[in-house]
Each structure stands twice: as structure tokens, then as C-alpha cells.
Structure 1
Amino acid sequence: MADVCRTNLLVDDFAMFSDRLNSVGLKAGDDNSMIALAAEHGTLSFVPAKNSYFFESLPCVDAVEEGYGAISFRMKAPKGASFAVELQTKDNCGESEYKSSWHYVEGFTGQTEIVVIPLKLFGGANARAIDGFSWGTWDFYDERGFVWTLSDVEFTCNPSD
């Protein structure tokens, strides 16, 4: 039986961005193709290139056992923009290979918004062995140098249905 989730799991507050580490002490970063990328005061600012991505590595999270139901983050994106979030899961935590499941986020207003993606929206993902996730497949990636922002990346407790 899953534990009752009492607190969210902070994945990245970008305090260790200069070391390319996230808040769980594992690798986080881009593929070196962002047009611009910097972190300050808990916020990542970036200008994505067409095929760039930003990733978070995890210590094989069992979201079912821990009671996490969603990924949550704050994002500022151009009005009307969309992008994909990739969830990387394994058959079990002892495996080395992962598989990817995707969820597309769209309908941004141009202001900072809180995005909550229930894990159940990642079709085929194994929530018992989450290895990492990433953001990519940017729409509006060349929107006149618009600076996107990302902050407060967390696993959140199961949302009420």
C-alpha cells in the first residue's frame, strides 16, 4: 500500500545550477544547444533552439509508493506556445534502459503560470520507476528572443479527483 504523501518532493530550485546538479543531487541541464541559459534567484531563464531540451535526472522515484501524483513547475512561455514533457521510466529500478512517455503542454498566456501534469497522463509510463524527465519540442522557440523561465520543479502529492 502506498504511503500517504505529506510533502512535495523538490526536484529543482536551481540553487546548484552552476554545478549542473538539481535539488536531489543528480545531473540537470541542457544538451548545450540552448540559445541562452542561466539561473538566478531560483529561476532558470532560457531561450530554446528548435531541437534543444532541458533534463532532470532522478534517483529512480517510486511515485506510487511515495504517493506522488503529478509533476508541477512554474513556466513563463510565449503566448500560445507549446512544448512536450518527456517522462523517463524503467521496468524496475534495477534496469539500465528507460522508455519515454510524452505529454504536450499548450495554451500559455505569456505570463508565469503553474503547470501541473498528473502522472497518469503519461501513457504507458511506469510510475513505480521514474528515472528522469525533460522539456523539449518547443513551439515558438524563435519568438523574437522571448526569454522563457522555469522554477519550482516538484513531484506533488496525489491531486484530489
Structure 2
Amino acid sequence: MLSREDALDILKVSGCSDKVIAHCITVADLALEIATKLRDKGKDVDLEIVEIGGLLHDLGRARTHGIDHAIMGVDIAKENNIAPAVLEIIKRHIGAGITREEAEAMGLPNDDYIPVTLEQKIVAHADNLVMGTERISLDRRILKMQEKQIDKKSIERVKALAEEIGLC
């Protein structure tokens, strides 16, 4: 597995801005806090995958800031021989995931982007609770989604993910 420094180097070399890198660090740190609490409660969670996945989740923002940044991130990560578990975090981190039907409607490759593993869910949840480098409440995230007129199904998935992580 990559070290934290190696992951940060990949972000820089790939062309991520300092702002994106700072966001990724904040998400990774929050994800690690969440994962550590869950591990302390007896959950089987891989802290290393959570940290590296959190750091690299927005790797695709080196090329685009569109919804397809997750797909671009997976491509860049593959070029850097990143572990499959981290590739899946990058792919599935947007919101609380995107269904196959939603992906098709958005013009993304025909695939399911819903987080499945605990590590994927933790990073997606942590990302939902970070705006830039500021940690925000779930209520604030939902308000932002409503302001952007994000569909109710996506908002409900974000709420359900938060509940699941909170109850794990």
C-alpha cells in the first residue's frame, strides 16, 4: 500500500491544485477519525485503505471538476498502479453513490457507483461532511444539495449513509 506521502505526490504530479489537495487531506483525516472510532467499536475496517482512499478520492479533479471526476480518478489511479480497493473508493465516493440508472442519465459509463464496503462508505460519508477544507454538518450538506436541486433519492441516500456509518 502507498504511504501518505506517496499519495500526496500522486495528487501533485497528476496536476491537482493545492485547494483540491487540501480538501483531500481534510477528507482523509476525517475518514480516519471515523474509521478509528468504528474499529474501536469492534468493526473490521482497514485504516490504511481508508486513509489512502480518502487522500486519492478526488484524484480525477486533476483533469475535470465534472461528475466524471470519479471515472477520471480511477484512470489516473490505474496509471499509478493503485490497489483495487482504493480504485473502488475513488469510483464510488460521489455523494452516497450513483445508481446504474442515474449514471446512464448523467452520461457516465454503465456501472453501479454505490459504495459497498465499509471503507468506501466511510470515505463517501467523510467527503459529504467536508466543504473545501471546512468540516460541515450533515444538515448543511443536505441544505447545499437542496439548493443545487439535487434529486430527493440522492439526498435520502446521503442521509441513509450517515445513519449507517453512525450505527455501525
Whether these two folds match at TM > 0.5 is no
Of Structure 1 and Structure 2, the greater strand share is in 1
Q: TM-score, normalised by structure 2?
A: 0.25
Structure possessing the higher relative contact order (Cα contacts under 8 Å, 6 or more residues apart) = 1
Of Structure 1 and Structure 2, the greater helix share is in 2
Q: TM-score, normalised by structure 1?
A: 0.26
